[in-house]
A = this chain, B = another copy of it.
Amino acid sequence: MRALIKTTLADTAVEAIRSEIIGRRWLVGEKLPNETSLSSMLSVSRGTIREAVRVLVSQGYLETRQGSGTYVRSNTDVSLPLDMARRAGLRDQFEARLALEVEAARLAALRHSPEVVSQLRALLVARGNYTGGDKAKFIERDLAFHEAVVAASQNRAMIEIYEFFSLSIAETIEATLGEDIPEPDMQAHIAIVDAIEASNPEAADIAVRRFMAPVVATLDRLLMS
């Protein structure tokens, strides 16, 4: 079964107004209809409109001036990349995460220290194999390992974006699919650490791809159904 996506009226109003802004219904600097008009246009109460407008203000799209009105501040939000990425499909997010982890593992293989390798192995031990029980906890420990791999790349940009995708993916899974994504086995994980320890970026690349392949395959199957 697939969880229903419930959306509130205010959220709907946010999207309705945002799409009008992006669609250039009002240009930058122009004034929107007042709250009462908007509420009748969208058939929601004024309070709901106010909630929607305040969200758009916080996202940089709108600006409100008390006593004057509500104005368009921007129609190309700077926080858009992350928003769009968040809205992208689960498969897209996985692919992006894979892209980052592959390269991070390569860099980690070139830049690792003995301490990092032993830390990775410790995280793997802590992670263990999933043998029933609290799956959320297991996923958390698994994620800790993967983030450590990326951290070993010593690339701050990749660390940040990877973390974002991990969060976003967790959200998406929770909201849509439940917890049906299979976790790859321990052997695949060990191969990653081995490759890093051996300073072999090619092997690290392959190991990461190998462990992600079944995940993506299952994802496709689930998304098809």
Contacts and interface: CB of A to CB of B under 8 A. Distances in A.
A81 B164 contact: yes
Interface stretch (A102-110, A114-122, A217-225): A102-110
From DSSP, what is the main secondary structure of chain A's interface residues?
helix
A14 B74 CA distance: 22
A contact residues, range? 35 or more
Contacts of A10: 54
A33 interface: no
A95 interface: yes
A92 interface: yes
Interface string A50-73: 110011001100000010000000
Given A88-B157, A96-B103, 11 more contacts: A10-B54, A54-B55, A78-B167, A81-B82, A81-B160, A81-B164, A85-B156, A92-B156, A95-B103, A96-B100, A100-B100
